[in-house]
Amino acid sequence: MITRIRDVRRARGMTLDDVAKACQPPTTPQTIGRLETGTRTVSVGWLNRIARALGVEAQHLVEAAGAGELKVAAVIGPAGATAPKRAAIVVPPRADTDQVAVTVSGSVGEYRASDEIWCDTLSPDQFARALNRDVLVPRPAGRFVFGRLIDRSDDKLQLLPLGSGARQQIIANPPWIAVARKLVRSL
């Protein structure tokens, strides 16, 4: 089976080590490299593990799956827009079952109206991974708090609000939080 693991990994800006660590259970960069180059046979199980680590559908890793990707026409940097040095693609994100979305109805902080914020849910033992990141925290009675997680001590989280003039909030014992992972903005 001819795969596009390397193309998709590069499109995601990930190294072999990044993908190896993101696999569940984690593996070695050498194994990912062998699977990319075809020196090791890619089973359906490996294809699914790597697809999940890359955040794409497994079908996007198979050579015949040309749909669902965009060719990169230009790269924008400090010198302006230039043609890419090598052919590149952008692969659409894949929604996982442990993700939630937040939509923005009015501009606040760095977010604009109509933005979508894709978030990964975390259990209490994973809260430390979200320090200094924007998070959604559930409150009783179907309410939520969204802000920057600036401190975690014992079972309490301290959030800095997005807007100016608002007070910091301390939330005790939330059952889960969702950390912002991807911003989708329409132009």
What's the pTM value of the predicted model, to 2 decimals? 0.60
Whole-number average pLDDT of the chain: 87
Cα separation, 136 vs 146, in Å, equals 4
Mean pLDDT for the stretch of residues 33-41? 89
Identify the structural domains of the chain with CATH numbers, from first to last.
5-90 (1.10.260.40), 99-184 (2.10.109.10)
Cα–Cα distance, 23 to 45 (Å, whole number):
11
Cα radius of gyration (the chain): 19
Name the phi and psi angles at 72, rounded to 5.
-80, 120
Percent of the chain with pLDDT over 90: 44
Return the pLDDT at 66: 46
Band of pLDDT at residue 65, cut at 50, 70 and 90: very low
Select from 33, 60, 38, 36 the least CA-distant residue to 48. Answer: 60
**What's the whole-number mean pLDDT along residues 44-72?**
79
Kind and range of the H or E element at 22? helix 16-22
